[in-house]
Amino acid sequence: MGDERTKALILGAAGVLGSSLVDRLVEKGIDVRAMDICRIDEAWRLAENKPLIDYRWKASSDIAKPDLDGVNVVFDAGIGVADRPLGNASPEYTTIVNVMPAIRLLEAVRLLPKARRPTLIYPSSFNALYGHPYGSKYVPSMLPNPSSVYGWTKASVELLYSTYRRAYGLPTIICRVGSGYGPKMRSDELPARLILSVLSKKGMVVRSPDARRLWTYVGDIIDFYGRLVEHLDDYTGQTIHCAGNVGNETVTNMHLARMVMDLSGQSVVMKRGGYEAGELIDGKPISFEVGGDSPIWRPRHTLSQGLTKTLSWFKKNRWRYE
């Protein structure tokens, strides 16, 4: 799939995952069409490759047949409403925004002639689907077990993709991605909040302090997708796990805060906060641990290495968040 005829459509292209995908696919010489409702001049994550892509200011829910013309592969990275600010407080809104665009995309592809149907790749969420108390690890045979409305919508879209594959023969691939972090990440995500707090020498309240996360460096995720694009036929119809780091180190939120302080050489006050909905199961903090890797998933970064690179990027680009 890496020749000059390859054209990728990336939905949610101005986000962290989408923009990183744009960067990697442009590097690989793939023709990129990008969709998002963030205006191109405001989408600073795409600035470097702005002249090289076909950018369309549209939401995923507005996708139409012309947007799919000539496209070989679609990355459905546009699902964007998590648990804040409206998520669990407005489950109806979360469901509409996260599930309906997937139906629109699947229907648009279904109506295409079979020879012109692109492969659809859905970046699902490992952490949103598989929260459980300490002592239990994810294995590929495990059924989704979401503890949030956001996680429920991720599981729902996975089932939609599987249904359209079985009912209509659509070529789909589901990827269960870990909690991504790295350059260009949103300021409301925990690693970014911790880094910005340390760089500003201000403390913060760490929510769900003893909940454990399996963090995944965005560079490893993008390396994975780069390999996947070259081997689409080998993985069509499969669900692939791509979460974790070298050693699959899982840490509490407070431990992550201490790691950021140690790597930065700064010491600020990090206070333990309360637990968010879904972060306690049967009174025990939630944990996301993995018991095995996919052959195509080969992370290169330990958590410490990824955080060091992320911290370095934020030191140079902190102004973007002020």
Percent of the chain with pLDDT over 90: 53
Burial letters 95-109, b for 16+ CB under 10 A, else e: bebbbebbebbbeeb
Q: Which pLDDT band holds residue 133 (cuts at 50, 70, 90)?
A: low
Confidence band, pLDDT 50/70/90 cuts, at residue 135? low
pLDDT at 83 over 60: no
Whether residue 238 has pLDDT greater than 80: yes
Query: Which residue, among 60, 95, 52, 55, has the nearest Cα to 76 in the 3D structure?
Result: 60
pLDDT of residue 279: 85
pLDDT digits (tens, 9 = 90+) for 41-68: 667 888 777 778 998 988 888 999 999 9
Residue-wise pLDDT tens digits, 84-109: 544 456 788 888 888 999 999 999 99
pLDDT on residue 68? 96
Rounded to an integer, the average pLDDT of 175-193 is 90
- Range scoring the smallest mean pLDDT among 149-153, 204-208, 235-239, 304-308: 149-153
CATH topology of domain 190-213+249-288+301-321: UDP-galactose 4-epimerase; domain 1 (3.90.25)
Nearest CA to 83 out of 167, 207, 254 is that of: 207
- Does the pLDDT of residue 24 top 80, yes or no? yes
Tell me the CATH number of domain 7-181+215-242, given options 3.10.180.10, 3.65.10.10, 3.40.50.720, 3.40.50.300. Answer: 3.40.50.720
Average pLDDT of the segment spanning 201-210: 94
- Model confidence at 224, pLDDT cuts 50, 70, 90, reads very high
Averaged pLDDT, 250-257:
95
CA pair distance 93, 133, nearest whole angstrom: 28
Which residues touch 83 (CB under 8 Å, ≥6 apart)? 148, 149, 150, 276, 277, 278
pLDDT at 280: 86
**How do the domains of the chain map onto residue ranges?**
7-181+215-242, 190-213+249-288+301-321
Q: What is the pLDDT of the chain when averaged over all its residues?
A: 87
Q: In the structure, what pLDDT confidence band is assigned to residue 2 with cuts at 50, 70 and 90?
A: very low
The whole-number average pLDDT for the span 111-127 is 92
**pLDDT (average), residues 154-179:** 94
